[in-house]
Amino acid sequence: MPSPRKETEIIEKLAQKMPRKLKQMAKIVWFSRGYQVNEHNQVTHLSIFNMDLSGQWPAEVFQLQHLEYLDIRDNALATIPDSIASLQKLKCLDVRLNQLTSLPSVISQLPQLEKLYLAQNQFNAVPGTIAQCSTLELIDLTNNAITQGCEHLLEACTLKRIYLNNNQIKQFPFDQITRPIEELNIGENPLESQPANKLVEKLFI
């Protein structure tokens, strides 16, 4: 496992590949680029959105083994490499505004992943591997082209917030909801049936 000093060196190498400055910040928010470290000088947050990566994942990202939050939005990414499995402390992955059509099965091997942002990609179906994600609490699949696979979301036993608005879903398996869900947003879809379910606290259709 990289030492704190080694992680600083990794960040320096990564920064050299970026077209814009990558600086250390006290707190990462959705509109900021940079990185954040903890009290041990270990990199825990990294935001490199809209960095003109041209679909390429920098190898340095997968060497930051204390990373909890990764924002790599809007970089023309067509795939997520299996190397993502090396980020065993990752809690939040934001890959919105890319060109993804699928997820690698190793996503389910991230033991602390809680939030997965996949909006504005090119998914036609909900990836089956979502059903195997044992810690996932939030998934955002807004603004894709999804028509099928919604049952996988209900098979993920910890999912509490599901965002599917603005897709192409005609049928949603409302009858398969057997546990409480805090929020289900399925608005702006061509649904053919709209049954209610008492287990959904907030339902947006």
Q: Where are the domains of the chain?
A: 1-99, 102-205
Cβ–Cβ < 8 Å for 146, 125: yes
- pLDDT score recorded for residue 4: 58
pLDDT in tens, 40-70: 999 999 999 999 999 999 999 999 999 999 9
pTM for the predicted model, two decimal places: 0.95
Give per-residue pLDDT as tens, 18-34: 999 899 999 988 888 99
Which residues are CB-contacts of 176 (< 8 A; sequence separation ≥ 6)?
Answer: 151, 154
Band the pLDDT of 199: cuts 50, 70, 90: confident
136, pLDDT greater than 90? yes
pLDDT of amino acid 14: 95
Residue 1: name the closest of 70, 68, 86 by CA. 86
**Which pair of structure tokens corresponds to residue 184?**
């289900």
In whole angstroms, what is the distance from residue 88 CA to residue 68 CA? 9
The answer to whether 143 and 120 are in contact (CB under 8 A) is yes
Q: Residue 203 — pLDDT band, cuts 50, 70, 90?
A: confident
Amino acid at 88: Q
- Phi, psi (degrees; rounded to nearest 5) at 139: -135, 135
Q: Are 153 and 176 in contact (CB under 8 A)?
A: no
Query: Can you name the CATH fold of 1-99?
Result: 3.80.10
What's the rounded Cα separation, in Å, for the pair 147 and 170? 7
Q: How far apart are CA 95 and CA 168, in angstroms?
A: 21
Which CATH number does 102-205 carry?
A: 3.80.10.10
* Residue carrying the six token digits 């940079």: 34
Q: List the end-to-end C-alpha distance of the chain, in Å, as a whole number.
A: 46
User: Is there a shared CATH topology between the 1-99 domain and the 102-205 domain?
Assistant: yes
Q: In 10 A of CB 18, how many CB atoms?
A: 14
Tell me the residue length of the chain.
205
Q: Which residues contact 39 (CB under 8 A, 6 or more apart)?
A: none
Question: Residues 6-15: what's their mean pLDDT?
Answer: 92
